[in-house]
Structure 1
């Protein structure tokens, strides 16, 4: 009993801290500034010695902005919580011992973040069957997806007037509503949210075109940004690899023998796409010798990165190295034939987390009874949700 109380206190504390960090992150995205407590400290130490004044644009925001940030943190954490309790209640229904969610606060203090690394529940016993793994795995993303749809629908049907952007960027007001043709003459440094099918649908068929924000300003709208991030993380969770929710779903649908063949192939495709365009033949054909060797060093680091990601998938480490080299050669070949094709380096950290820490394979189950037809259909629906929610290039920084 005492142990349970201690665990609940830890979970409650993590949840409260995560509310604070996501609220701060939401305000930072809305107002394009930071709660620069860490920044202030380092600037105090360095700037004081050099006699510098802190730039006005980096002065920390206050209580008013923090409260505004709740417009991001509440819908975002609501979706995350509904997702996790989808897993929790289905696990309880199957009489599987499981914990309440652990939230993971994560805030930089010197640059923008989203305030959290998500949440997870811990299964405290072996899940005995494919069916139970399937049910527990699919419940979270389905519940979270429905919640994300509600948030996106509300956000796109309750867009503020176009003048709202002047609260975020007062410097735009002197140009009026024609500000894009003046302030984006040099668009470098602006951030865009890469479309997925569902987000594109909402923008084109649900939103009032007269109120739809410019693509470079979309992340200043908290409900839209919260809903977009929810779709992004739902799609990542539905990747059918390892112990992700999608891995549980696919394992339940096709069983261990087929899964152990399919999952490494899917992981290889995912890693191949994420790093596509990172290195090209022209990077080594131009510039000085110093630049050539610098690129060669970066390439060696990248190959080692892939090796680390694939090492757990193979009993023989030489196979992991061979696959890593094949992926790099394939990326060079594709980019040589189609130089306009690019992957998304934003996904590479997730490739590392999945390959090195979460694992590509799935735990065995004692009961391997195949799923019934309704569950198979539900599994197909889950992967359709993945297709319409996945953004090939989720965050686009204009260069």
Structure 2
């Protein structure tokens, strides 16, 4: 034991506390701990140990119960002194996170509504209502569910700490600080699962509201902007979307995006690794074997980062930094129990319907286009002009510049290209806007001395960023 004014009396006090619940047949005392070999009643062991834990907590001690070599032992150590929590930190962080999510909401609302100016009172207020408040409600409910589950299981915990961040999210989430070791596998599952399940209960109605508001909008059009990103709906979100069928290219309402973030955060927290909520649940359900699932999860995230979404590598690093193994609860002998098992199973189902391998992806600029020739074989008289009508069709998602050239031996004939103006000698640059078609004329002037039966083959080449399209043109002299 750690030094005290009367070590002998202190050991005797601890012996009496343990003997109240478990018969003792041997006692070992060290500088840091007292270990007592005890007999237990399997039917009441969990309840007896929890009462002992509460009794010793009031005296400033922490007990562990273990089973090894056919014997049960209770080891008691001093409880580290707890620093008093400063609620001002929680208050400052929640205010800061409110402001950063409000700014994120303002940006989202401005983009969604097409507002002419970003910095306006209207954008700020609508950003708060449509994004900031729904997102903070989801995150706050998640953490408060952890908090109340901790209290229910006799574990000291802090109120939520929110983490402000830059747009487009405005926050990196929130967390609570557990100030006691986990008492049992049951507590691990209940505390771990309560956050995702509580957060989900709030996310579902927010998602329905967001989908309804999205369905009332109008489809967006226009080229893809540089840095644009797509988000992938989770299976659960897709199922909810059946209630509000959306037209193609509908702009996502900020409230719907807040719900998407809620589902994403739920899936991340339920990864069965280390100190994440899923790690708590796995440890409670599987015991020491949970470490292998944690290793596999970290490895799978690394694989997914190369196959689907590079951001998984960051989460894999975070899991490793926080620790792949989970501390053993004070009572690692008793199983989680029916209620905790049901919560664990529910959490597994929630993870299955909220996880996607590619949650988001950058939109790559697509400069594809097509070249349509109305008639590629024209017959003209000597000295005449063969006029080919060409359509350039933008089939990509951005504006493009197309260069038109003519290849082949035209001499002594000549060729020119026109796109709504005077014909000019090729090459010619044509601006091809998103979702547009530009009509081009290719003019081949036949020489006066051309003979009947003469023909020339010319290759029309249209070159854009990363793509070249060729079409053959033929002129026959008649």
Same fold flag (TM > 0.5): yes
Higher gyration radius (CA)? 2
Rate the CA distance shift 1:189–1:127 in 2: closer, same or farther, 3 A: closer
Distance 1:162 1:236 in 2: 30
CA contact (8 A) 2:210 2:257 kept: no
Q: Deviations over 1:331-388 (max 9, x none)?
A: xxxxxxxxxxxx10122221221112x1111111221111223422321221110111
After superposition, residues 279-318 of structure 1 pair within 5 angstroms as none
Q: Within the alignment, does 1:359 sit opposite 2:323 as a pair?
A: yes
Distance 1:189 1:265 in 2: 33
After superposition, residues 46-195 of structure 1 pair within 5 angstroms as 61-70=119-128, 71-107=130-166, 112-159=167-214, 161-163=216-218, 180=221, 183-184=222-223, 189-195=227-233
After superposition, residues 156-235 of structure 1 pair within 5 angstroms as 156-159=211-214, 161-163=216-218, 180=221, 183-184=222-223, 189-203=227-241, 205-209=242-246, 212=247, 214=249, 217-218=251-252, 221-235=253-267
Distance 1:262 1:192 in 2: 31
Over the aligned positions, Cα root-mean-square deviation in angstroms equals 2.3
Q: Deviations over 1:30-83 (max 9, x none)?
A: 3239xxxxxxxxxxxxxxxxxxxxxx99x8523221111111010100010000
Distance 2:248 2:93 in 1: 34
Q: Within the alignment, does 1:395 sit opposite 2:360 as a pair?
A: yes
Aligned position for 1:331: none
TM-score by length of 1: 0.65
Distance 1:389 1:229 in 2: 11
Give the number of the structure whose residues are more often helix, by fraction.
1
Unpaired runs of at least 5, structure 2? 1-82, 365-478
Give the number of the structure whose residues are more often strand, by fraction.
2
CA contact (8 A) 1:194 1:392 kept: no
Q: Within the alignment, does 1:253 sit opposite 2:218 as a pair?
A: no
Kindly indicate whether structure 1 or structure 2 has the higher relative contact order, using CA contacts under 8 Å at least 6 residues apart: 1
CA contact (8 A) 1:97 1:123 kept: yes
Aligned position for 1:315: none
Rate the CA distance shift 1:365–1:62 in 2: closer, same or farther, 3 A: same
After superposition, residues 358-377 of structure 1 pair within 5 angstroms as 358-368=322-332, 369-377=334-342
Unpaired runs of at least 5, structure 1? 34-55, 164-176, 277-342
CA contact (8 A) 2:155 2:178 kept: yes
Q: Within the alignment, does 1:268 sit opposite 2:233 as a pair?
A: no
Measure how far apart 1:104 and its partner are: 0.9
